[in-house]
Structure 1
């Protein structure tokens, strides 16, 4: 998540050229029955959002479809994109805005499954803007002239936080955004290095445990059920091995359904791939895990990306859809 937009786009486009020169390796259809399983690598970020994937692996939803799925951790969606295009990963997980930006730059990507979405409840979301307990800031309107930490500049964080500021009647242009990794944000807030931070779970709960106070729910303010992320693949793999993509999508959807129906299992599996404290895991707010790709949300995020000049023009999201 720390890669800049320019670096991410350049790396992704370089990966396209490498792939075109034959550097990528596409697994051959394994199908089902007696065929050897397809080895599938998924680029992920070690956060709550990808719990359904890990649950699906444990529950056998992927092996049932003749896939041997492993994961590899990337720095963020923008860093995972080049890995998928070059064939390092067959599939990846990214926030939607990073996918919109990449696709607008000509990077050949396709969403294959929904990732996760806002709870739609202000003050009870997995994504919040928080301030110190004794801060004079009472709402997003008061962020004018203040410094707000986000994990990646010119991406979904500042885009959606500006929606909260606008909704509260403030001036989004008067806010200074600085880039910090999520794990560093609670300390930066407590030490007064920033006035507010945008955090996602488990850092919302960690910050609140340190006395932080929620002033805005940026995803809820953007739209009631913002889809923040998705699983994706390259157009090359989709064309060369549609059966594998179909099986992965089916298994991923089963995993999302299982996660939605078993929140305790989601909390428990976090220990397998994160360092989240068990007590925090039991108290944090989980996102929603729908199987349906929210086209309305994607349209809005594409519009906002154009308004924020993250893209030269509004992306036709049909280019990203399966």
Structure 2
């Protein structure tokens, strides 16, 4: 979520920005000899954004879930899910975070990408359209002719906003979308460069507390309620070549997702260790949910929305790009 969830200034926001603009190094991920469990690789590089969405990767490392599976996982900071596709294709990453809109667009373009695990699903008020406190814009219909900042064009941001425009009787052609990284949105809007922004956490909390911004609309309602945002991907070739390694990753990440979904305190404790989000901010931000199962029916909703709003030219059967998790027991 994908969320091109989910590169995500302000006293709070400025500190967070450092984490969200960092980049990881590439380099070939080395093959290792099979271990006692028969894993094809025992050390893998996994791309992730330093945001709350990817917390299960760090929980699984800290709790020893990967180690229990015979895996050493090296997190690599990426700049976005779409940007990571070339890195998994050239082998500098084994697995990476991705948002589902980018993934389905890539699949339609012929990329041989597989979804291997779920990560993040939207909840109420963690992807909002925000405006300055003194803005004359008081309803979505008032956005006609206005400029809305999004982190990426033709991705989950614009798709989510467009669903809300539709409810208000508008289309995407009635507004102007402009790209701006999340850390820069608050100041850009406050200085008059745009009228509104599609903002996620922790920047919702930051712009509210430091700039007095207010919520115009929650974009994860109606057609986008509980929208799946982000997951983990690998290339089809990698998945076929490393089935035991992939299964080990899936088991460990699912265990971490289950913990994240059942105990917010675990998320709050972990997020400050790999981002610049402070414990104080981590304790108050609005979080989505962390599904432990990659459910084709839920993900099909994203692909169908993309088709409806012309982000895809033809239907995609999501089941065809999911690598099933290993059987329990």
Structures share fold, TM-score greater than 0.5: yes
How far off is 1:91 after superposition? Answer: 0.6
Is this contact kept in 2: 1:131–1:196, CA < 8 A? yes
Describe how 1:1-322 pairs up with structure 2 within 5 A.
27=31, 30=34, 32=36, 38-119=42-123, 121=124, 125-209=125-209, 210-322=211-323
Is this contact kept in 2: 1:110–1:234, CA < 8 A? yes
Q: Which moved more, 1:34-43 or 1:181-190?
A: 34-43
Q: Which moved more, 1:68-77 or 1:136-145?
A: 136-145
Distance in 1 between residues matched to 2:92 and 2:296, nearest whole Å = 28
Distance in 2 between residues matched to 1:35 and 1:285, nearest whole Å = 38
Structure 1 residues 118, 36: CA separation in 2 closer, same or farther (over 3 Å shift)?
A: closer
CA-to-partner distance for each residue in 1:94-137, whole Å, 9 max, x for gaps? Answer: 11000001111111111111110012x3xxx2211111111121
Is this contact kept in 2: 1:109–1:234, CA < 8 A? yes
Distance in 1 between residues matched to 2:33 and 2:263, nearest whole Å = 32
Is this contact kept in 2: 1:41–1:89, CA < 8 A? yes
- Helix, strand or coil: the match of 2:265? helix
Is this contact kept in 1: 2:149–2:198, CA < 8 A? yes
Distance in 2 between residues matched to 1:250 and 1:288, nearest whole Å = 18
Distance in 2 between residues matched to 1:98 and 1:177, nearest whole Å = 18
Count of aligned positions: 298
Is this contact kept in 2: 1:112–1:321, CA < 8 A? yes
Is this contact kept in 1: 2:257–2:291, CA < 8 A? yes
How far off is 1:37 after superposition? Answer: 7.1
Structure 1 residues 94, 190: CA separation in 2 closer, same or farther (over 3 Å shift)?
A: same
Is this contact kept in 2: 1:29–1:244, CA < 8 A? no
Question: Unmatched 5+ residue regions in structure 1?
Answer: 3-22
- Helix, strand or coil: the match of 1:128? strand
- Please give the TM-score of this superposition, normalised by the length of structure 1: 0.86
Is this contact kept in 1: 2:32–2:41, CA < 8 A? no
CA-to-partner distance for each residue in 1:262-281, whole Å, 9 max, x for gaps? Answer: 21121121221111133221
Question: Unmatched 5+ residue regions in structure 2?
Answer: 6-26, 324-329
Structure 1 residues 161, 316: CA separation in 2 closer, same or farther (over 3 Å shift)?
A: same
- Helix, strand or coil: the match of 1:114? strand
Distance in 2 between residues matched to 1:213 and 1:64, nearest whole Å = 45
Distance in 2 between residues matched to 1:138 and 1:99, nearest whole Å = 34
Distance in 1 between residues matched to 2:176 and 2:39, nearest whole Å = 56
- Helix, strand or coil: the match of 1:183? helix
Distance in 1 between residues matched to 2:95 and 2:239, nearest whole Å = 10
Is this contact kept in 2: 1:78–1:94, CA < 8 A? yes
How far off is 1:296 after superposition? Answer: 3.5
- Please give the TM-score of this superposition, normalised by the length of structure 2: 0.85
Distance in 2 between residues matched to 1:297 and 1:177, nearest whole Å = 27
Partner of 2:8: none
How far off is 1:200 after superposition? Answer: 1.0
CA-to-partner distance for each residue in 1:156-197, whole Å, 9 max, x for gaps? Answer: 110111001112333332010000001001111221211110
How far off is 1:294 after superposition? Answer: 3.8
